[in-house]
Amino acid sequence: MSKIVNIKAAARGRAGKGAARSVRREGLVPGVVYGDKKDPQIISLIYKDVEPHVGTGRFLATLVDLDVDGATVRAIPRDIQFDPVKDRITHVDFLRLGKDARIAVNVPVHFKNQDAAPGIKAGGVLNIVSHYVNLYCPADFIPDEVIVDLTGMQVNSSIHLSGIKLPDRVTSASRDDVTLCAISAQAKEEAAPEGAVSAEVPASNQKAPDPKAAAAAAPAKGGKAAAPAKGAAPAKAAAAAPAPKKK
């Protein structure tokens, strides 16, 4: 069952952006309570009383007893607004809950016994599809979590919400059978096609550079000759011109 938290609040007489800015300047959080066939009620909350509950990540699935000037209002948070720059809470909407009310909430999904799944032991990969599921349940009985047992799960198998036993009076709020997780085979490295030739040429098959080509690439007079490539055969020295015969 979901935990019920208590938060003090004060009624506000004015609505609108100007009034909300004035409330924030006082270090408070503006909010509204609506639903249960009653008129909306404008309220303000102490920032430090709200922030710790928002930080849990489960505030939107938490029952709240609002103490509004001494009167207790059972509600559940429905929307939280933040400042895009400072990331501070700027507004909270609450849904007032009447007697025997039923609501749809997002409940976290947790997975256990990964080491007891043969598919994972065989090298398969666990793909988590749904971290939360939307459930329809009584307002006074919100599950804390949905637990998925992976024991015996094989490669290429999956688990859906219909395969999970939910608490009494709790049903899926989705018309579709939600997929929670699956184990897929690990992708293998693609082998090179048969007959393919490596782009690298062994050093033993590399040809020595052509001496004529090396001579053609020699620098002009006065320039420095480039260092010969490692392993290249040295070019033969040019033959000296014959001396003229004596008469």
Task: Let me know whether 9 and 83 are in one domain.
Answer: yes
Residues 6 or more apart in contact with residue 163 via CB below 8 angstroms: none
Q: What is the pLDDT of residues 110-130, one digit of tens each?
A: 999 999 999 999 999 999 999
CA distance 17 to 25: 12
Q: In the predicted model, is pLDDT for residue 159 greater than 60?
A: yes
* Residue 109 is assigned to a structural domain of this protein: yes
**Residue 18: predicted pLDDT:** 84
Mean pLDDT of the chain: 82
CA distance 67 to 44: 11
* Residue 155 is assigned to a structural domain of this protein: yes
Mean pLDDT in residue range 18-26: 88
Q: In the predicted model, is pLDDT for residue 36 greater than 80?
A: yes
CA distance 81 to 34: 16
Q: In Å, what is the CA distance from 175 to each residue of 59, 101, 131, 162?
A: 25, 21, 18, 11
Task: Let me know whether 10 and 88 are in one domain.
Answer: yes
Task: Let me know whether 116 and 167 are in one domain.
Answer: yes
Q: What is the pLDDT of residues 211-229, one digit of tens each?
A: 554 444 444 444 444 454 4
* Residue 139 is assigned to a structural domain of this protein: yes
Global pTM reads: 0.65
Task: Let me know whether 152 and 180 are in one domain.
Answer: yes
Task: Please report, as a single letter, which amino acid is at residue 137.
Answer: C
**Residue 242: predicted pLDDT:** 53
Q: In the predicted model, is pLDDT for residue 83 greater than 80?
A: yes
Mean pLDDT in residue range 182-206: 57
Q: What is the pLDDT of residues 161-185, one digit of tens each?
A: 999 999 999 999 999 999 999 999 9
Among 138-142, 195-199, 212-216, top mean pLDDT goes to 138-142
**Residue 19: predicted pLDDT:** 84
User: Considering only 118-122, 156-160, 240-244, which range has the smallest mean pLDDT?
Assistant: 240-244
Domains in the chain, number: 2
**Residue 14: predicted pLDDT:** 74
Containing domain of residue 113, as a range?
104-184
* Chosen domain end from 79, 98, 117: 98
Instruction: Quote the tokens at residue 169.
Output: 């009076």
* Residue 199 is assigned to a structural domain of this protein: no
CA distance 19 to 68: 18
**Residue 246: predicted pLDDT:** 52
Mean pLDDT in residue range 126-143: 94
* Residue 117 is assigned to a structural domain of this protein: yes
**Residue 187: predicted pLDDT:** 62
